[in-house]
Amino acid sequence: MPVMTDRPHMPTEDFEAVAHIAAREVEGLRLEFIDGVIRSKAAPDGDHDRIVLWLARICMQHRPELWLHVERGLAVGDYRPGRARPDVALAVDDAFVGQGEWADPAPVLMVVEVTSYDTDTDRRDRVEKPLAYAQTGIPVYLLIDRDACDVTVFSEPDGRRYANTRTVEFGNDVELPDPVDVTLRTEVLKDWVR
């Protein structure tokens, strides 16, 4: 029997219905639909939450007109319309007012993923999401990788991929390019890894 690779396992509308029911029935279950495949997202641990709070404080200090929207569901991708829940989406405060569970990503300036200690992190955060976010046109994707102890900034989406990728080890400063325009001092991230 041939393997189906040219279309998603299910229509996006069916995924949305499944995700809605699953979230209601199973506490803490967070589903995503990336590149036609359903994936569950691990519940964040305390260090993961601390990194998100650290980033929120920096953004509030340097870009007070913007908000970090935590776990905001976004419609992503082009080739196979998907649904993602980035750990954080940086946008103006009312960017998602009046939108449902899966919002239009147009106002998003940056998405952030902090890796979890689960078996799906490599494929989900390092492979699938950079492609989906780039196809969507989100200007900056920040990956805080607790396994590798580094930070990767993806920028300049060209509709297929991010044309610019920069990785620095924890402890080095990293610039988040336009339209974010913030420099992160990453030394403190060393304290929040296993």
Note the pTM of the prediction, 2 decimals: 0.84
- Does a structural domain hold residue 139? yes
Q: List pLDDT tens digits, range 67-125.
A: 999 999 999 976 567 899 999 999 999 999 999 889 999 999 999 999 988 777 777 78
Contact 162, 130 (CB under 8 A): yes
pLDDT mean across residues, the chain = 87
Residue 17 belongs to some domain of the structure: no
For residues 78 and 159, which has the higher predicted lDDT (pLDDT)?
159
Report yes or no on 31 lying in a domain: no
CATH number of 49's domain: 3.90.1570.10
In a domain, 23, yes or no: no
pLDDT band at 5; cut points 50, 70, 90: very low
27: in domain: no
Q: Is residue 115 part of a domain?
A: yes
Instruction: Say if 68 falls within a structural domain.
Output: yes
Domain that holds residue 151: 44-192
User: How far from 82 is each of 24, 61, 153, 175, CA to CA, in Å?
Assistant: 20, 33, 22, 29
Return the pLDDT at 116: 84
Q: How many domains does the chain fold into? A: 1
In this structure, the number of other CB atoms found within 10 A of the CB of residue 7 comes to 9
In a domain, 14, yes or no: no
